[in-house]
Chain A
Amino acid sequence: MATQAAPTLEDFRQEVRTWLEANCPASIRNKPRGMDTSFWGGRNPVYPSDDHKLWFERMAERAWTVPTWPAQYGGGGLDAAQGRVLKQEMARLGAPEPLSSLGIMMLGPALLKFGTEEQKLEHIPLIAQGKIRWAQGYSEPGAGSDLASLTTRGEDKGDHFLVNGQKIWTTYGHKADMIFTLVRTEPDAPKHQGISFLLIDMAQDGVNASPIRMISGNEHFSQTFFDDAVVPMANVVGERGKGWDVAKYLLTFERSMMGESIGGAAGKTLAESALEMLGKDGLAREPGLRGEVTEIMMETWGIQIASERLFDQGKAGQVSPFSPNVLKLLGTELATRRTRAMMSLGGFDNLAVDGRDAYEWLQAPPNCIAGGSNEVQMNVISKRALELPEHK
């Protein structure tokens, strides 16, 4: 908020650069990104280090945890171009995100679009300041790719819903304070029209979550059980029975983000890693591997350009509705290919059970499944973008 007076983008960049250099502790710069090395906020905050705490507090004071959200709800109030400059300068310095949060990545944008004024004033400042840690509750054991067949139900009790059912793949469900979730509240309505988007406080007896251990060893996901959970009527986002629209809007953020986050060690390209690990001579002896590295570099550049184009299209109001599907499909596939190539480059040593490359390799395939499996993305493209008919 202290930056409003910046007359030009270049001035703003200089100011940001100076401020970041003075305020981002050296010990947390240029560290590999990962869910376990980030600060996630919440009622019981756990900071990876004292310097992470300091960094978070400094950024939160400027509301640069959510730099482009409106100032009246506790956002940073920067315009899109300034937000981009901040992002670029943080990347340049190797500064981590001060606060990782599904509230920032997903719920906030949905609240800004669909929430009531009361909901915005209540929840958005808490997201910005990292006070509440949010989880996402969409999938169910019987509703994966066919998400709209979900059966978790909310019974209308006048001033509240009584929620019963089970969610799965709730990101950090066992660590979150609240969960935004899709619940069937209109049992007689057609599949897509009986679902509401509910905000549920997890600190109640009727909500229980347990972690799921993944092939990478991480426990980012959980199963969440609702057993007569109480949800005030005021916690419906958007219209009752129209939760599917909110969820679809929100999924576009998740998909673009998954596609764009092609991962990798901070600031290091696959080519640089390849040269470091095998050298030019080593690569020359293995033309196949060298070719694979080059192709991945080319495709990575293509995804970066797509991301830049998406930004420009957004500014010009020309975004293709299918860009998130395209980015998700090609981006997550590329990430699996890239992390697998890193495994090859490292050879036997990269098989170490606690290795970072092994961890990233095992983290990549779940992204081809989450956020709507890549097959679902192709269904969306073939039906809506290409308008190919459905079999009757």
Chain B
Amino acid sequence: MALVLTQDETMLVDSARGLLDREAPVTAFRALRNSGEPLAWDRSLYARLADNGLVAPNVAEADGGVGMGIAAAGLVMEQAGHVLAAAPLLSAAISATLIAGAGSESQRADLLGPLVEGKRVIAPALDEAARHDPDRLDTRAEKAGEGWALTGDKTAVIDGFDADAWVVSAMADGAPALFLVEKGGSGLTVERFVAVDSRNYAKLAFSGTPAVRLGQGDAGAAIAAGLDVGRALLAAELLGAADEAFGRTVEYLKERKQFDRIIGTFQGLQHRAARLYSRLDLARGVVLKALRAIDEQDADATWLASLAKGTMTRLSRDVMMEAMQMHGGIGVTDDHDVGLYVKRAQAAGELLGDDHFHTERLAAGKWGL
């Protein structure tokens, strides 16, 4: 599909932007952060997003979703990135992909409907190391009566604190598999992790915790698909956040006066801004290409997801550095919003692999270097 938005996608973007601007401005996120509320996201906002079909729009119509593909989910994430909307959109889209990829027909029917309706929060629990390493899978699943029991530890669980359930990867019969663990299960410890970006994270510990296996057999492909989706969506969110931080910085350059002149008239600053504009323009194409490739099951989709995540991690870091620098002292105070974008970009950059991770993944995997 073409690297321009369809009419439906444009409408979706407008609807998402309108809703988020009205109900989730950055001030709302700041208030949530200041409240110290452990959930760290707003249930009523999430319900409104779900009402408008903006939660996991990639879920197929047959599974109870709107079937607009990952491109649509990415466009929503980009808008969420603009306002730093705290809602479990990312975890919903990843979990939906894992469930759709591995689950049986009845599991898909049972789980995906309530997920897109925003009635149940299901968080993906894949990582086990502080630095993203998807090849590391030490959590074990063993048969326990009719079901299974999990033992092991998970970290970097996005929206994992106070979730209703988790989709957990574990080794079963010598192959990777996916399991659903319900809240309150025995032998389950959920530890809240408070991060710089004030979002919801958890670390999980399983000790013979009862679990339901999603489908049967090797779930390696479903996990890989979930990772691709998560990486492309994070790239889209970073694009929105970087675009916003950059736009605010350019506006500041037009207002701030020093040496009796608007600082935006200094060519030293103009050229730095022009360079960021150019890189953002290029990155917008890369992110859309990755989203489209996933929807089209392009053979390069997994590499394009890495290209997008690697590119956006690095670019958003550079944008945030410049945003702070060009704002001067005010930009590094807690009162100013720039800091909120800086922190979110760092966290979103880290999740599911940073620029170094994806550069290496492409070097070894795509190009055989």
Contacts and interface: CB of A to CB of B under 8 A. Distances in A.
A385 B265 CA distance: 14
Interface string A350-392: 0000000000000000000000000101110111011111110
A203 interface: no
A305 to B, nearest CB: 5
Q: Tell me what chain B mostly uses at the interface: helix, strand, loop, or mixed.
A: helix
Given A280-B368, A329-B278, A297 B273 contact: no
A326 B281 contact: yes
Contact of A389 (B265, B275, B283, B367): B265
A388 B261 contact: no
Nearest to B284: A309
B363 interface: yes
Interface stretch (B41-49, B222-230, B285-293, B338-346): B285-293
| Chain A, interface SS category | helix
B270 A378 contact: yes
A302 B273 contact: no
B195 interface: no
B247 to A, nearest CB: 9
A312 B307 CA distance: 20
Given A291-B359, A294-B369, A297-B367, A305 B3 contact: yes
A298 B311 contact: yes
B75 interface: no
Interface in A248-276: 269, 271, 274-275
Contacts of A294: 359-360, 362-363, 367, 369
Contact of B369 (A271, A312, A316, A389): A271
B285 A302 contact: yes
Contacts of B262: 389
B242 interface: no
Interface in B100-139: none
Nearest to A271: B367
A320 interface: yes
Nearest to A291: B359
A323 B281 contact: yes
Given A305-B286, A308-B289, A323-B281, A381 B274 contact: yes
A306 B2 contact: no
A72 to B, nearest CB: 29
A297 B304 CA distance: 12
Q: Of A280, A294, A295, A390, which is in contact with the most chain B CB atoms at under 10 Å from its CB?
A: A294
Nearest to A318: B4
A77 B367 CA distance: 39
Instruction: Pick from A275, A329, A375 the residue with the most CB of B within 10 Å.
Output: A329
A288 B288 CA distance: 30
A290 interface: yes
Given A294-B369, A386-B273, A316 B4 contact: yes
Nearest to A297: B367
Query: B264, B279, B282, B283: which has the most chain A beta carbons within 10 Å?
Result: B282
Contacts of B359: 291, 294-295, 298
Given A298-B362, A391-B261, A381 B2 contact: no
A214 B363 CA distance: 36
A389 B311 contact: no
A302 B283 CA distance: 7
Contacts of B285: 302, 305-306, 308-309
B279 to A, nearest CB: 7
B253 A388 contact: yes
Contacts of A390: 265
Interface string A215-232: 000000000000000000
Contacts of A309: 3-4, 285, 288-289
Which of the listed residues A269, A323, A330, A381 has the most CB atoms from chain B within 10 Å of its own CB? Answer: A381
A330 B279 contact: yes
A274 B369 contact: yes
A385 B273 CA distance: 11
A308 B3 contact: yes
Contacts of B22: none
A386 B281 contact: no
Report which residue of B264, B274, B285 has the largest number of chain A beta carbons within 10 angstroms of its beta carbon: B274
A37 B266 CA distance: 45
A319 B260 CA distance: 38
A383 B281 CA distance: 16
Given A297-B367, A298-B310, A322 B281 contact: yes
B264 to A, nearest CB: 4
Contact of A379 (B2, B253, B270): B270
Contacts of A375: 271
Contacts of A293: 363, 369
Most chain B CB inside 10 Å of its own CB: which residue of A316, A378, A382: A382
A291 to B, nearest CB: 7
Contacts of A320: 281
Contacts of A385: 274, 277
Contact of B273 (A275, A305, A326, A388): A388
B116 to A, nearest CB: 30
B300 to A, nearest CB: 9
A315 interface: yes
Nearest to B310: A298
A313 interface: yes
The 8 closest A-B pairs by CB, nearest first: A382-B270, A378-B274, A381-B274, A309-B3, A271-B367, A391-B265, A312-B2, A309-B285
9 contacts: A271-B369, A294-B369, A295-B359, A301-B307, A308-B285, A309-B3, A323-B281, A378-B270, A382-B273
